Structure 1
Amino acid sequence: MLEQTTYYEDFVIGAQRKTVGRTITETDFVVHAGHSGDFFPHHLDEEFCKTLPFGQRIAHGTMVFTIGVGLTATIINPVAFSYGYDRMRFVKPVFIGDTITSLVEIIGKEVMEKRPGYGRVTERLTVSKQTGEVALVADHIYMVEMTP
């Protein structure tokens, strides 16, 4: 991982970066079910899923989110801290064998009046499938130090 100090003032609205791809496997489904406790048949019961409109197992939305965010975690910024996520939407299902990539774009900045010396930076996370279809969208909010 690369360490890069980027202060609030250095963030540019519209700046983007795209990640490498990651193919979703059956092991991902099983491991995520074990970690989360979500053993719903929509994710793990192949025969049950054949009776549903998609005809196959659907990835946990939380797994797509976790992997999608993980793909973006290639830069350590020692002056930025995650403040949370807003507006998460599961747009299209992800299946075993799909390859996802993440695109992040800076969509907003504002000074944090109640936290002198900090600003809030909002980054839009878009996770897409190999088909180009958007699978997930969420806004990641950072609390970032201003230049000393």
Structure 2
Amino acid sequence: MAQNRWFEEILLGEGRQTLSKAITEKDINLHAAQTGDFFPHHMDAEWCETQPFKKRMAHGTLVFSIAIGLTASDINELAMTYGYNRLRFVKPVFIDDSINVKTTIVAKEDHKKPGFGLVFESVETFNQHNELVMVCEHVYLVQRKTIA
């Protein structure tokens, strides 16, 4: 859905809650094939049984990709991703876990490029037990309605 919003229209404290998505064995296998990351933590169930977590876990980059994808519900043609700060994988995500995401606008600041500002969005990813599994800060470059 398109919803164009200028820098000035984005408010501190606003946010979104996403739907959930189950992380499947097929997701993990496909991600391994796409990235070349075939580490045993993700691919070898027998080896994982000898490790503290006892079962295969999703790649952090897979969890990150799906979590950010879940937040992509509204298209703002006045904004684009500038980057991500402080990405942390707090707990592992296993096959058949479901994740959902809560976002909150936590800061805004000027950008050196005239006519633009930066918007900082906290991204918190939770599993089906409402346990925090991943956190990061998404930074957007957003057009201003008026040049500061």
Q: Indicate the TM-score class for this superposition, using the shorter chain for normalisation.
A: over 0.9
* Structure 2 letter corresponding to 1:140: H
| Secondary structure in 2 matching 1:57 | coil
Residue number in structure 1 paired with 2:13: 14
Taking structure 1 as the reference length, the TM-score comes to: 0.97
- Which residue of the partner structure matches residue 115 of structure 1? 113
For 2:101, the equivalent position in structure 1 comes to 102
Equivalent in the alignment of 2:137: 139
Q: How does 1:1-148 map to 2 (within 5 A)?
A: 2-112=1-111, 114-148=112-146
CA offset at residue 58 of structure 1? 1.0
The SS at the match of 1:3 is coil
Count of aligned pairs: 146
Over aligned residues, Cα RMSD in angstroms?
Answer: 0.6
Q: Deviation of residue 100 (structure 1)?
A: 0.3
Gapped regions of structure 2 (runs ≥ 5): none
Write the letter of the residue equivalent to 2:132.
V
Q: Among the aligned pairs, what percent are the same residue?
A: 47
CA displacement, residues 33-90 of structure 1 (integer Å, 9 cap, x when unaligned): 0111100000000000000001000110000000000001111100001100010000
3-state SS of 1:97 partner: coil
1:147 Cα deviation after fit: 0.7
Residue type of the partner of 2:120? T
Report the TM-score when normalising by structure 2: 0.97
